[in-house]
Structure 1
């Protein structure tokens, strides 16, 4: 019965999103085609080194400021400032950047999104799970567009964004359910489940290793995580967008 409900929800999501795309003026281009196929696209040199340094300094300032509403994980590694676009115009310019909004429109058909910008610093700490707390989907049903900007150089030891290409596609989501790899509607996964998924579907994990100023456009219905960080700090921006209202569980994370 649960599988039938999931199938109905997947079909409904496709119908709603495709109808929205049809009437939104969305256009097909290379970025959009790659997002549809792989779920992850790289955009080089989005920000200069000087711009990245300026924003890193501001993130450090807001994390140290006692008046900032912050979220910190249990290990003391992941420091997050949600809705930073509402208190700082430098960050708001990234959130409202025309290239990001164009990619959002072309992929989801969303013209006037609800959303926010998250600024984060992830520090190397013993026992950290990485950004996001492990392997997950942002939604088991809805295709979601996220823009992710590295403000520092990120190699394999600095907690890179990890993504399983193609795992956002409905055919692959449903295939994993029918093969018994995941439960219907599951959105968080253990290491063992991911290893089994990779083996049974011949999929691979992509480590998004890049220099500061690089942006990733990602469909976060796909399986992803921030790799546990081994050294240094990773500075990053995340644009969140919704076609409807911002989910209420984010309300306590707003800036005062």
Structure 2
């Protein structure tokens, strides 16, 4: 069955307003099933490798693996030409590319795809960082997460503070200094986040749902507290930053030259 195209203007407005938009079941189940198989196959190959390092790459497959102590296992597909066909389908999904391009004002294509698998059984809990609320650097301003399984608040991959990407005086220095210095992320601190009035929004949805989010929006990884979860994330980290609307927004509102 043909998937219905999303309302790009409406979704773009919601992105500007809220910092994220959920596109319900935009990817059909037949494709998410293939993507889960590709992710598990890649992680199985990583497990059987001889590498004991936290990071290691397989140039023949265009992949980079990352082992985490918090119950998450991840693989990056860095080369579109070498990625499985189902991963390439997500990589170049026309509706998602159109929405991101519309939002940032330039033609946007992902540079890589992250696959993540987490299980409650694999979570040591004691290794989970104390402070996980953060914003990403300007080059990573938009990401698209695809849920490969139904998720709930107990195993969803992320949580957000809706609208926190609209930079105000409380956080503007954190944002500006992060971009100016080139740090990979900025962590305002859990105590600062706890002082805000809005409640976190959990990234939950049905299999095939995509979450398009502005990474200026404060967000945090979440533990998998029951069962398992699998997701893909498209990185748009090669956009021309001088054309990025977030820079214009900060400069216009606060007069900073970044």
Contact 1:41 1:216 in 2 (8 A): yes
Q: Structure 2 CA distance, aligned partners of 1:204 and 1:244?
A: 33
SS at 1:82 equivalent: strand
1:28 shift after superposition: 7.1
Q: Structure 2 CA distance, aligned partners of 1:89 and 1:216?
A: 21
> Is 1:69 aligned to residue 67 of structure 2?
no
Q: Structure 2 CA distance, aligned partners of 1:90 and 1:192?
A: 41
* Residues 142 and 56 of structure 1, relative CA distance in 2, 3 Å threshold: closer
Tell me what 1:34 maps to: 14
Tell me what 2:166 maps to: 169
1:114 shift after superposition: 5.7
Tell me what 1:53 maps to: 33
SS at 1:222 equivalent: coil
> Is 1:78 aligned to residue 69 of structure 2?
no
SS at 1:221 equivalent: coil
For structure 2, which runs of at least 5 residues remain unmatched after alignment?
1-6, 50-57, 179-185, 242-258
For structure 1, which runs of at least 5 residues remain unmatched after alignment?
1-26, 246-256
1:117 aligns with one of 113, 116, 136: 113
Q: Structure 2 CA distance, aligned partners of 1:183 and 1:43?
A: 28
TM-score (norm 2): 0.71
Find runs of 4+ consecutive structure 1 residues off by over 6 angstroms.
none
1:51 shift after superposition: 2.3
Q: Structure 2 CA distance, aligned partners of 1:142 and 1:70?
A: 22
* Residues 143 and 28 of structure 1, relative CA distance in 2, 3 Å threshold: farther
Task: Report the RMSD for the aligned CA atoms in angstroms.
Answer: 2.6
Tell me what 1:156 maps to: 153
Tell me what 2:144 maps to: 147
* Residues 63 and 142 of structure 1, relative CA distance in 2, 3 Å threshold: closer
> Is 1:108 aligned to residue 104 of structure 2?
yes
Contact 1:163 1:224 in 2 (8 A): yes
Tell me what 1:192 maps to: 191
Tell me what 1:7 maps to: none
Tell me what 1:240 maps to: 235
SS at 1:36 equivalent: helix
Contact 2:119 2:224 in 1 (8 A): yes
What count of residue pairs does the alignment treat as equivalent?
A: 206
| Structure whose residues are more often helix by fraction | 1
Contact 2:64 2:77 in 1 (8 A): no
Q: Structure 2 CA distance, aligned partners of 1:93 and 1:153?
A: 20
